Amino acid sequence: MKIMPYSLGALLLPLLALPAPTPAVADPAPAVARHRHDAAEISAFLASFYGHHGPSPHDREHRVSQQLKEKQAHHPHSDVLLCAQNEPWDIAIGAVTVAQSAGVGWATVTTHWSADSTDTFTAYVRLDSRPIKLDDVICAG
């Protein structure tokens, strides 16, 4: 029989001296549900964002998704937020639709260019955006 310099017991002793691992304890606080914007919040945001003549430079910088900023960079001769090249006379926001399962809300935006000339586009907002931002715009024509 071969004699080992250390017995198995001698190797286990230092391990037994280590502190026992703390068992994982479930967090007693309930998980906080993430706020999702509702139709009223989106409507108020779009009305504030677009105003009567279009978004301000501050809103264009701070209340627009990175995706829209990149879209604008690729279309320098058109205003992708208004689907136009000029400033409209007035802007109206239609009813907001919210699709919880898709995580997005949208509304038709109508731009008035003269007494008898209007155009429309759809403005999209992600329901979980913090702070709320315009996520995309799809032009009608």
Q: Where in the chain are the domains?
A: 39-139
Q: How many CB atoms lie within 10 A of CB 70?
A: 10
Full strand arrangement of the beta sheet holding 117-126: 90-99, 104-114, 117-126, 134-139
How many CA within 13 A on the CB side of residue 130?
A: 4
Q: Domain 39-139 maps to which CATH number in 2.20.130.10, 2.40.10.220, 3.10.450.50, 3.30.1360.120? A: 3.10.450.50
SS3 state of residue 73: helix
pTM > 0.85? no
Give the residues across from 123 on adjacent strands.
107, 137
At 94-141, the pLDDT tens digits run 999 999 999 999 999 999 998 889 999 999 999 999 999 999 999 986
At 11-51, the pLDDT tens digits run 444 544 555 555 555 555 555 557 899 999 999 999 999 99
